[in-house]
Amino acid sequence: MHVFVAVMKTPLIDNLQYCNWSRSIFEQMREGGVDAVHVTIVYHESFREMVLQLEAWNRWFETCGDLIMRGTTAQDVTRAMETGRTAIFFGFQNPSPIEDDIGLIEICHQLGVRFMQLTYNNQSLLATGCYEDEDTGLTRFGKQAIAEMNRVGLVVDMSHSADRSTLEAIDHSTRPIAITHANPAWWHAAKRNKSHEVLSALTSAGGMLGFSIYPHHLSGGPACTLQSFCQMIAEAASKYGAEHLGIGTDLCQDQPDSVVEWMRVGRWSKVIDYGEGSATDAGFPPMPTWFKDNRDFDNIRQGLLATGMTTGEVNGIMGANWHRFYADAFGPA
């Protein structure tokens, strides 16, 4: 049993951001009372390029240590709350840093990485991404990689993976997995959003879904209302259980449009891959008015309470459920 030190409030956790980091953004995290954030440090980077990202984050921890701290365990969230800081957890949106070497999974975990997607939008050495025409499921390497991730405590994330690959990952993993940033396809039929079959399997196996506020994942895009978003979460809670739900905003604050090209294209294409966006707009779409940055989480909290969800259910979705998941997922099996 995991015992947490008593604190005055339940944690507020955003389980996916990829911002253009700055002291200003870290200050906004503190203004918004955000206790922990899972940050993307890799899209298509090699192992060595990933290490450079770690170097950059070490510098942020050094220069902004009054605002943020490195997080590797659930207890670090509690420590961040006690010291008035935000715990930063590292994750990959692609398995590119492990290359074709299963031993690098443990090395990445030792370096502080706690989440790894098996694919971005394309086929990887491990599984199939959601934009491929054919989903062949987990590869032989993918199955062994999941077993190694389970062993060391690196969470399997299937946010950008296709349905068959995701269902096979849920079935093959001996520990609950996560979809850190996506919404139900029954609310908005984006390729990146997840079917009822996938979400039922995920949550039945103890996994977690983080709801995304990235406009391409929202019904109505930037015009999506807070009421629509929160009512969707309430419906998901009735279908899958509120205890399996959290937030993973996919906030990309202050990023230039050139970063979208890196996210979608990396090195595999010579032309822009419009991916989740429109062929007429390859840049970042505007955020909805009710969520611009880390200071706006209370809008979501109040919106969820307005749906009739209990305070306990809302506290869970706003962070307590991720905190519990961290406690169970980040250590060795």
| 114 has pLDDT over 50 | yes
Question: Based on the structure, what is the number of domains in the chain?
Answer: 1
Residues 6+ apart with CB under 8 A from 7: 78, 81, 82
Confidence of residue 295 (pLDDT cuts 50, 70, 90): very high
Rg of the chain over Cα atoms, rounded to whole angstroms, equals: 18
Asked whether residue 113 is assigned to any structural domain, the reply reads yes
Asked whether residue 7 is assigned to any structural domain, the reply reads no
Amino acid at 173: S
Asked whether residue 3 is assigned to any structural domain, the reply reads no
Express each pLDDT in 11-69 by its tens digit.
Answer: 999 999 999 999 999 999 999 999 999 999 999 999 999 999 999 999 999 999 999 99
Asked whether residue 251 is assigned to any structural domain, the reply reads yes
Burial of 295 (0-12, 13-18, 19+ CB in 10 A): middle
| 274 has pLDDT over 70 | no
Q: What is the CATH number of the domain that holds 151?
A: 3.20.20.140
Asked whether residue 4 is assigned to any structural domain, the reply reads no
Asked whether residue 240 is assigned to any structural domain, the reply reads yes
Asked whether residue 5 is assigned to any structural domain, the reply reads no
* DSSP, res 242: G
Confidence of residue 9 (pLDDT cuts 50, 70, 90): confident
Express each pLDDT in 206-226 by its tens digit.
Answer: 999 999 999 999 999 999 999
Domain residue limits at 150: 13-329
Asked whether residue 96 is assigned to any structural domain, the reply reads yes
Confidence of residue 284 (pLDDT cuts 50, 70, 90): confident
Alpha carbons 83 and 67: distance in angstroms, whole number: 9
Collapsing DSSP to helix, strand or coil, 19 comes out as coil
Express each pLDDT in 157-167 by its tens digit.
Answer: 999 999 999 99
Alpha carbons 184 and 236: distance in angstroms, whole number: 8
The H or E element containing residue 28 is: helix 23-31
Alpha carbons 328 and 107: distance in angstroms, whole number: 20
